[in-house]
Amino acid sequence: MKICGLNKTTMLDYPGRLAATVFLGGCNFCCPFCHNGPLVIAPEKAGNISEQEILKFLEKRRGILEGVCITGGEPTIYKELPRFLLSVRKLGYQIKLDTNGTNPGMVKELEREGLIDMVAMDIKAAPDNYIRAAGVQNPSMEAVFETADYLLHGQLDYEFRTTAVKGIHTREDFMQIGKWIKGAKAYFLQSYRESQEVLCPGFESFTREELLGFLRILQAEIPNAAIRGVD
């Protein structure tokens, strides 16, 4: 497993918990607006931390940190993930998994084994627009649908989120997303922000008013939909 980074303390990545975030390198998507570009295209150069270092750090922070957020890249591309999460679990941490939803089998296994408490799944775009948003020719939509469905109808705590990007998304995306995950208990619309780490720089953000317009469309199907990180 390629661990590229560790954010030692965050109040943002795990809702309601003081957490550390572990960044795994590599991804099976190539979203042009990805803000972790180096982690996706060149994980071998993006940093290298051993599992032992992470576990040692977490052991020291027991009783201070409450949770661990596992993000990427795409964590579920690693078949060793359950073994690593078991070690984290044994230290007494709550665990949140960030995923693009392409590995429903792994998500189900992690829940079955009691190794995750929450999943945050990206909804990249409307299903019709996934090839563009995920930056790959075959975005494994059957798998993505299966994971979303599993979360919608299962017992695991979850949230869905979409990063809205001008040049990728239109109103049509949010109309379709609303129908797709109708009634979801938690859905967040996030605004794209340009940064040096973006995979394909040059996209723009929507204005606050445009985002509020998308939110109104979404709330017709997902009353709990909200905007995150926009003033």
Residue 70 C-beta: closest distance to ligand SF4, Å: 12
Residue 223 C-beta: closest distance to ligand SF4, Å: 27
Residue 62 C-beta: closest distance to ligand SF4, Å: 29
Cβ nearer to ligand SF4, comparing 117 with 122: 122
CA–CA distance, 6 with 88 (Å, rounded to integer) = 14
Cβ nearer to ligand SF4, comparing 29 with 214: 29
- Binding residues for ligand SF4, per CB under 6 A? 27, 29-31, 34, 36, 40, 72-74, 100
CA–CA distance, 13 with 26 (Å, rounded to integer) = 19
Cβ nearer to ligand SF4, comparing 40 with 184: 40
Are 143 and 121 in contact by the 8 Å Cβ rule? The answer is no
Alpha-carbon Rg for the chain, nearest whole angstrom, is 17
φ, ψ for residue 54, nearest 5 deg = -60, -45
CA–CA distance, 198 with 150 (Å, rounded to integer) = 30
Cβ nearer to ligand SF4, comparing 66 with 203: 203
Residue 172 C-beta: closest distance to ligand SF4, Å: 21
Cβ nearer to ligand SF4, comparing 89 with 129: 129
Residue 33 C-beta: closest distance to ligand SF4, Å: 7
Cβ nearer to ligand SF4, comparing 94 with 163: 163
Residue 5 C-beta: closest distance to ligand SF4, Å: 12
